Amino acid sequence: MSSFVDERKCMVTRYKRAGYIHSRNVEEAILAVPREHFMDPKYTEYAYHDQPFPIPGDGRQTISAPYMYPVTYEPLKLQKGQRFLEIGTGSGYGAAIARELVGSGGLVVTVEINPETYQFARENLKKAGYDDVEVILGDGTLGYPELAPYDAVSITASTPDIPPPIYQQMASHSRLIAPVGNPGRYGQDLLLYERFGAESSKRKLMSVVYVPLIGKYGFPG
């Protein structure tokens, strides 16, 4: 156990030096979440290695390399008490970090389309003490209107565009991050969208390679 804690601290120090982590909020959130609880048991010992690993599902699902989480959460600027929507629960690790960022007064909703991955994430979140995260089995491209609006949204799989239902569920002043583009070896653009009432902006953060988002407004299953 202590070795995992030490590895987590070393990882955070490494990411601060590399510029992935630059806010105290994100640093504390990542330090708080035991990534080892979100790994497939076959790969637990590699929890803090800088690479993705397979998780239960249809063969495409992974837990992303750990540096991708500060890359996602730093631009979203999640604050205590905010409402957050994640599309693509995966292992549940990202939802746990978000839960740390929004605090007990906030809300984290995460939607997963694959039943096996959904169950894996639910068990991981409960084991790690995050059983107040709302984990939904369903088509993430439809969002989750029952608990909208959301101050921030993260889409964790490549999407051809921002699904209209998700945009409609964003608060009037909100942020969304998503890998946009076709799946494949040429990758996608990780884009940050900011909504200001009736106006919005977007900018590219980096090039990435993500698995495809499956659903009505995503790619075929």
Q: Which of 2, 3, 23, 64 is catalytic?
A: 64
29-to-80, 93, 187 alpha-carbon distances in Å: 12, 11, 28
64 is catalytic: yes
Sign of the torsion angle spanned by Cα atoms 163, 169, 174, 177: negative
- Rama region for 105: left / alpha / beta (φ>0; ψ in -120 to 50; rest): alpha
Q: Which of 161, 208, 166, 218 is nearest to 184 (CA)?
A: 208
* Residue 78 backbone dihedrals phi, psi, to 5 degrees: -60, 140
Determine the Cα–Cα distance for residues 136 and 123; give it in Å rounded to an integer: 13
Neighbouring-strand partners of residue 200: 195
Q: Residues 6 or more apart from 99 whose CB is under 8 A from it? A: 106, 108, 130, 132, 133
- DSSP, residue by residue, 74-133: HHHT--TT-EEEEE--TTSHHHHHHHHHH-TTSEEEEEES-HHHHHHHHHHHHHTT-TTS
For residue 149 the two structure tokens come to 């609006």
Q: Which residues are catalytic?
A: 64
